Amino acid sequence: MENLKYHIPVMLNECLTGLQLKRDGIYVDVTYGGGGHGSAILEQIPDGKLYAFDQDNDALETLTDHPNLVFVNHNFQFIKNFLKYFDDEKVDGILADLGISSHQIDEGDRGFSFRFDAELDMRMNQDQTLDAYEIVNTYSAEELSKIFKVYGEIRYGWKLANKIVAYRKNKAISTTGELADIAEEFTIPKQRNKELAQLFQALRIEVNDELGVLKTLLLNSLDCLKPGGRLVVMSYHSLEDRLVKTFMQSGNFEGDVETDAFGRTNKPFKLITRKPVTASAAELVENTRSRSAKLRIAERI
């Protein structure tokens, strides 16, 4: 695994088992990153094909020259469009390792973490225009408060939103350090890092429309998976996990299970995991990012 320094793949064996890989199968890794999961998949499909999506240009630097790999430098919300373009509209499995990679966090100038003082950015797609700077400096107090509450579950969201609006009247908030300093007075000292992480998570979700993109992927999976094809999704916070859980159970985001005229349920998936799979004790020690990971697996009916 030549790219593990970029990002250690979380629950690698569990993901591979969940996909039920076939030698000649066609699979999609919608968050290729450093290729940790993707490289392992390619090793087990010598006669198959892997479509790998990643909108982050940094992922281009980790690509391997593998004849069975087709890399798509776009957001995975376009999975259906590209599979149709490549004449592989139905696949045997889709893997989604959601959230942010270790590489993106550790690249301080990307602005994903309060551990580094960098420009407010947080764009996974560096070509898009909306960034964290624009959100922090142009959104109203009401809009900011809603983002903080819904995406970060931040208890002091309204107070912080008002302070941000008051602060930027005199000076634009340009860096992650400035934002962290503004928010720090509302945090509980022992929970400072956790609460600042929630703030940065909320902004990152808004910048990248992460929940909207996830919904599009899940809906597209209904059309892209063959009968018996596996949907394997790993999430890192409750907002994502609730969406994935509800969709796998019902095929929609409201949790409404359709029934026919005879009262028989019409579910598009069979649940392979009724409860989320979590990392082993050994992995928790080796890779701290795995602590919040929840893996859910479903099979297309």
Domain that holds residue 142: 105-208
Domain boundary among 188, 208, 228: 208
> For residues 232 and 94, what is the distance between their CA atoms, to the nearest angstrom?
6
- Let me know whether 229 and 242 are in one domain: yes
Report residue 207 as tokens.
């910048």
Domain boundary among 167, 182, 208: 208
pLDDT score, position 1 = 38
Residue whose entry in the numeric block shows the structure tokens 């992480």: 197
pTM, two decimals, is 0.93
- Let me know whether 153 and 277 are in one domain: no
- Structural Rg of the chain based on CA atoms: 20
What residue type is 10 in one-letter code?
V
Q: Provide the pairing of β-strand 26-29 with 91-97.
A: parallel
pLDDT score, position 4 = 42
pLDDT score, position 103 = 59
DSSP state of 254: S
Report residue 169 as tokens.
């009247």
The CA-atom distances, in angstroms, between 88 and each of 49, 75, 136, 160, 225 are: 10, 18, 41, 48, 10
pLDDT score, position 62 = 78
- Let me know whether 70 and 214 are in one domain: yes
Total count of domains within the chain: 2
- Let me know whether 112 and 192 are in one domain: yes
Cβ(41)–Cβ(64) under 8 Å?
A: no
**What's the residue count for the chain?**
301
The phi, psi pair for 229, rounded to 5°, reads -70, 150
Domain boundary among 185, 208, 231: 208
- Let me know whether 134 and 270 are in one domain: no
pLDDT score, position 45 = 98
> For residues 1 and 27, what is the distance between their CA atoms, to the nearest angstrom?
19
pLDDT score, position 281 = 97
The CA-atom distances, in angstroms, between 122 and each of 133, 205, 290, 296 are: 9, 9, 21, 27
Written as tens digits, the pLDDT of the chain (301 aa) is: 344 445 689 999 999 999 999 999 999 999 998 899 999 999 999 999 999 999 988 888 878 889 999 999 999 999 999 999 999 999 999 999 997 766 566 665 687 888 889 999 999 998 999 999 999 999 999 999 999 999 999 999 999 999 999 999 999 999 999 999 999 999 999 999 999 999 999 999 999 999 999 999 999 999 999 999 999 999 999 999 999 999 999 999 999 988 877 777 889 999 999 999 999 999 999 998 899 999 999 999 9
Q: Which helix (H) or strand (E) holds 255?
A: none
pLDDT score, position 125 = 92
- Let me know whether 201 and 243 are in one domain: no
- Let me know whether 143 and 291 are in one domain: no
1 in a structural domain: no
pLDDT score, position 3 = 44
162 in a structural domain: yes
2 in a structural domain: no
Cβ(229)–Cβ(92) under 8 Å?
A: yes
Residue 134: give its domain's CATH number: 1.10.150.170
3 in a structural domain: no
- Let me know whether 123 and 181 are in one domain: yes
Residue 16: give its domain's CATH number: 3.40.50.150
pLDDT score, position 231 = 99
